[in-house]
Amino acid sequence: MFEPVKMAQALWSTRVRRSRPC
């Protein structure tokens, strides 16, 4: 089952991690 929400959350996490050093 493909879950776009999970993928979006994962991308968000990576973006936030890269943007924020925390």
Which helix (H) or strand (E) segment is 9 a member of?
Answer: helix 4-19
User: What is the SS3 assignment for 20?
Assistant: coil
Q: Is the dihedral of CA 13, 18, 22, 16 positive or negative?
A: negative
Q: What per-residue confidence (pLDDT) applies to 22?
A: 61
Amino acid present at 16: V
What is the DSSP-derived secondary structure letter of residue 4?
Answer: H
pLDDT, tens only, 1-22: 678 888 888 888 888 877 776 6
Residue 1: the pLDDT is: 66
